[in-house]
Chains A and B, each alone.
Chain A
Amino acid sequence: MQVFKAMFKIVKKRLPSAMVYIIVFVTISVLVTNASSKDNQFKASRMEISVFDHDDTPESRALTEYLGKNNDIVEIEDDKDKIIDALYYKKLNYALIINEGYAEKLKAGETADLFGNYHLDECFSTVYIGQFLNEYTSSIKAYLAMGKTSDEAIALAEEALSVQTEVNMLRVDKGGNSHYSVDFAGYFQYMPYVLISVILAVVCQVLVTMNKKDIRYRTNCSCIKNSKYTAQLFIGSGLFVLAVWLLLIAVGAVLNEEMYTGRAWYAVLNSLIFSVIVAAMAVFIASFDPKDNVLSLITQITGLGMSFFCGIFIPMDVLSDGVLSVARFMPAYWYIRANNMIADIEAFDKDKIFQCYAMQLAFIAAFVTLTLLVRRIRYSGASIGTAVKKAAVS
């Protein structure tokens, strides 16, 4: 346990600089998620509307009543200047005028010139109400054409619209599929950069320190078994990687405001595989004994390089084919491909996602093999812990 304990003391000393990455990442994610969820709330929120019913028929009154259910009706004098004042001072979002002959025209199947309106600028509320009115009147027209009475047509249209509104809100809320929104996919898209930065900075550093020649020599003089030493390093690094991954997954769940369900689990598995890749990469880099400044350079280059080439910072569909063909030789490419499919940015295809997993696993195998190779070459001269060579005594 000695080795393990020392490792974690070293990790603790290295952690503050690594935590910066996590904190920046989480902060940005929180900001992005909040901004977009406010957007959603705005869409769903009630608006302040004034309705001037110049038709005054049961049909027009029904529309006024229906609008009042989802919005706040503001009573205001029917005077252009006053309406514009109210709009200007934000007492009002939208003023609707139901033109005379509204009911007649509807029954005749006409939908032109039913309404007039006042609004300040083309914002979401005006578009939303315009679209709503359009759908409302088209629905009534359709039901009337089916031979329903006015009352029935209005009731049916209202029913249909309320269902549709819900569906619309869901789509807006959750993006392509209900369990893995585009926002959330963004969180997972940036995760490799954080994993690379944090794991390389900490795990590499610790392994390099623990394997420094002088320290290794000194440790080899003691009665701790070589295999036990290596095992403790392995477990320690593994636990750290697992902890970082779990932290990011937990923060993801909090940001998404629900536990992972359905497709999101593919993303969770994807990120776990990628964490293992980065861990293998850390062990590989550490086997070269890089100096402190060289190591931070390698960390930057690897983190930023993969981020720009593999679609972490720049969406893949913006990247040129040339870049993407190079990116194939980097593990993050396959991570992002899988993520894009899970998020419906590319067509969701279970088999292809598993192929991406397989490619990533291949990278792990490659790094492990390379590490063993490097260690063999580097330590073939001065054997650390290998049996004493017995020269043939003649």
Chain B
Amino acid sequence: MENTVVRIKDLVKRYGDLIALDHFELEIKDGEIFGLLGPNGSGKTTTINCLLSLLSFDKGDIEIFGKKMTPVSYDIKKEIGVIMQNVAVFDELTVYENIDYFCGLYISDKAKRRQYVEEAIKFVGLEDFRKFYPKKLSGGLLRRLNIACGIAHKPKLIILDEPTVAVDPQSRNRILEGIQELNRNGATVIYTSHYMEEVEQICTRIAIMDKGRKVAEGTKDELKRMIKNTETITIEILELPGKVLGEVAGLPHIYDADYVDGRLVLSCSGGKHNLTRVLDVLHKHELGFGRVYTELPTLNDVFLEITGKALRDKED
């Protein structure tokens, strides 16, 4: 049987009139990499802060490792590693000193700490930057330092709140691989992000949030099965008469057809040979076309279908 590591029951958090968390429920099991996916302002950080008892909340119960979480649950806090959305390091301390400081809040044995700090430095690949001050680090390296500060004490539960914001793809991949390695070494991970690709790549289970509510939950395959979209077909066509568009839209399994900026985008649900049928129609009307590609549904499609809006603008 899997053990529940985190259980959030009926959590309500208000900021004045704004309901940041609206009867939010969550259960995370031992050994998972749990993704909390949601657009900006959906309440991810608020959830994490409530979970860690940093914020008081209006209603609800939070249990971690089967025990009620309170601001003074030091035995629980000891086992948690936190990587905050805002980088929290001392500008006045070097990379090494920063990691040592945060590790030292948990581990007082000096020899053990030295070893842990070294391991953390190696883990995030900051070996050449031990004596650097945070101000001298690039954005990606700073994020890695932030992560090292959170995981140096080898916690059983690691919470990462958007650790890859403003990080270049190379650094990002390194971070994601690192998280998977931590998980393989036995840590349960909670990962929040508004980048669906990241969540798809590493998370074993995902909850999608919107406006303080959980709108869907499951593995990525389960989530994709929840929606009718199974395939999106895109065809570049210079000119498409409205009559033809109507004919294409009328084909079986195609539930949505759009022609914008010389691109015909078709959403299909189920069925086989959808692409062949579409191309047949174009042939019949002797219409030439450019590139053709099909995509399997993404979590963005899931979010789009459930909430009626895109998870985020094309690229930010």
Q: Are B105 and A223 in contact (CB under 8 A)?
A: yes
Residue B185 CB within 8 A of the other chain: no
Asked if B120 is at the interface of the complex by the 8 Å CB criterion, the answer is no
Other-chain contact of A10, B59, B74, B86, B93 (Cβ < 8 Å): B93
* Contact A386 to B105, CB < 8 A, known contacts A9-B97, A209-B92, A214-B84: no
A117 CA / B306 CA spacing, docked (Å)? 114
B74 in contact with A6 (CB, 8 Å) = no
- Name A225's closest neighbour in chain B (CB-CB): B74
State which of A218, A385, A391 has its C-beta within 8 Å of the C-beta of B71: A385
* Alpha-carbon distance A368/B49, docked complex (angstroms): 30
Given the interface pairs A217-B54, A219-B105, the reply to whether A388 lies near B71 with Cβ below 8 Å is yes
Instruction: Kindly supply a per-residue 1/0 record for chain A positions 76-89, scoring 1 wherever the CB is within 8 Å of any chain B CB and 0 otherwise.
Output: 00000000000000
Given B59, B74, B80, B84, which contacts A393 in the complex, CB threshold below 8 Å?
B59
Known A2-B105, A6-B101, A388-B70; contact A220-B90, beta-carbon cutoff 8 A = no
Report if A221-B52 is in contact (Cβ < 8 Å); known contacts: A9-B97, A385-B71. Answer: yes
The answer to whether B56 touches A217, judged by C-beta atoms less than 8 angstroms apart, is no
Contact check, A220 vs B71: say whether CB atoms are below 8 A apart: yes
Residues of A with C-beta under 8 A to B105: 2, 219, 222-224
How would residues 31 to 44 of chain A score, 1 for a CB under 8 Å from any chain B CB and 0 otherwise? 00000000000000
* Smallest CB gap from A218: residue in B: B88
When the two chains form their complex, are residues B74 and A391 in contact, meaning their CB atoms are under 8 A apart? no
Q: Which residues of A contact B90 (CB under 8 A)?
A: 6, 10, 209, 215
Shortest distance in angstroms between A224's beta carbon and chain B's nearest beta carbon? 5
Given contacts A222-B105, A223-B106, contact A382 B55 (CB under 8 A): yes
Q: Which residues of A contact B54 (CB under 8 A)?
A: 217, 220-221, 384
- Rounded to whole angstroms, the CA-CA distance of A220 and B69 in the bound complex is 13
Docked-complex contact A221 and B80, CB < 8 angstroms: yes
Q: Which residue of B has the minimal Cβ distance to A229?
A: B105
A13 lies within 8 A of chain B by Cβ = yes
Please tell me if A387 contacts chain B, counting CB pairs below 8 Å.
yes
Residues on A with C-beta less than 8 A from B179 are none
CA distance A201 to B101 in the complex (A): 23
**Distance between A344 CB and nearest chain B CB, rounded to angstroms:** 46
A2 CA to B55 CA, complexed, in Å: 25
The answer to whether B92 and A9 have CB atoms under 8 Å apart is: yes
Chain B residues within 8 Å of A219, by CB: 105
State whether A388 and B92 are in contact (beta carbons under 8 Å apart), knowing that A221-B77, A221-B82, A223-B78 are contacts in the complex.
no
A168 at the interface (CB under 8 A from B): no
Q: How far is the CA of A209 from the CA of B93 in the complex (A)?
A: 11
The residue in A212, A386, A391, A393 that gathers the most chain B C-beta atoms within 10 A of its C-beta is A391
Asked if A355 is at the interface (CB within 8 A of a chain B CB), the reply is no
Asked if A389 and B84 sit within 8 Å, CB to CB, the answer is no
Give the contacts of A167-197 with B (CB-CB under 8 A). Answer: none
- Expressed in whole angstroms, the minimum distance between the Cβ of B274 and any Cβ of chain A is 50
Q: Are A218 and B97 in contact (CB under 8 A)?
A: no
Asked if A165 is at the interface (CB within 8 A of a chain B CB), the reply is no
Report chain A residues within 8 Å CB of B101.
Answer: 2, 5-6
Complex interface bits, A373-394 against B, C-beta within 8 A gives 1, otherwise 0:
0000000001111111101010
State in angstroms the CA–CA spacing of A212 and B59 once bound together.
28
For the complex, give the distance between the alpha carbons of A223 and B72 in Å. Answer: 8
Whether B78 and A388, one on each chain, are in contact in the complex, defined by CB atoms closer than 8 angstroms, is no
A387 touches B93 (CB 8 A): no
CB-CB contacts of A1-37 with B at 8 A, as 1s and 0s?
A: 0100110011001100000000000000000000000
Say whether B88 contacts A215, CB under 8 Å. Answer: yes
- How many residues of chain A are within 8 Å of chain B by beta carbon? 31
Q: Are B88 and A222 in contact (CB under 8 A)?
A: no
Per the bound structure, the CA–CA distance linking A222 and B74 in Å amounts to 7
B295 within 8 A of A: no
Task: Considering the complex, give the chain A residue whose CB is closest to the CB of B15.
Answer: A381
| B58 lies within 8 A of chain A by Cβ | yes
Q: How near does chain B come to A150, taking the closest CB pair, in angstroms?
A: 82
Q: Specify the chain B residue showing the minimal Cβ separation from A10.
A: B92
Most buried by B among A221, A224, A385: A221
The chain A residue with its CB closest to the CB of B149 is A218
Q: Is B57 an interface residue (CB 8 A)?
A: yes
B102 interface residue per 8 A CB criterion:
yes
Q: A222-B77, A222-B105, A223-B106 are in contact. Are A6 and B93 (CB under 8 A)?
A: yes
Q: How far is the CA of A2 from the CA of B86 in the complex (A)?
A: 22
Residues of B within 8 A of A212 (CB): 88
Chain B positions 84-103 with a Cβ under 8 Å from a chain A Cβ: 84, 86-88, 90-93, 97, 101-102
Give Cα A386 to B53, complex, Å: 9
Q: Which residues of A contact B77 (CB under 8 A)?
A: 221-223
- Of B59, B80, B91, the residue contacting A391 (CB under 8 A) is B59
Q: Does B218 contact A (CB under 8 A)?
A: no
Contact mask for chain A residues 212-239; partner B; CB cutoff 8 A; 1 contact, 0 none: 1011011111111110000000000000
Within 8 A of A (CB), among B30-88: 49, 52-59, 70-72, 74-75, 77-78, 80, 82, 84, 86-88
Contact among B49, B93, B104 with A217 in the assembled complex (CB-CB below 8 Å): B49
B106 and A222 form a contact (CB under 8 A): yes
- Nearest chain B CB to A264 CB, angstrom units: 38
Knowing A214-B87, A221-B80, the reply to whether A389 touches B57 (Cβ < 8 A) is yes
CB distance from A84 to the nearest CB of B (A): 69
| Residues of chain A with a CB closer than 8 A to B70's CB | 387-388
In-complex Cβ contact of A223 among B55, B58, B74 (8 A): B74
Which 5 pairs of residues, A with B, have the shortest CB-CB distance? Answer: A218-B88, A222-B105, A2-B104, A214-B88, A223-B74
Can you list 8 A-B contacts (CB < 8 A)?
A10-B93, A212-B88, A220-B54, A221-B52, A225-B72, A383-B55, A384-B54, A391-B12
Q: Please report B residues at the A interface, Cβ cutoff 8 Å.
A: 12, 49, 52-59, 70-72, 74-75, 77-78, 80, 82, 84, 86-88, 90-93, 97, 101-102, 104-106, 149
Other than the given A388-B57, A391-B58, 15 more pairs (CB < 8 A) read A5-B104, A6-B101, A212-B88, A214-B86, A217-B54, A218-B82, A221-B80, A221-B82, A222-B102, A223-B106, A382-B55, A383-B56, A388-B53, A389-B58, A391-B12
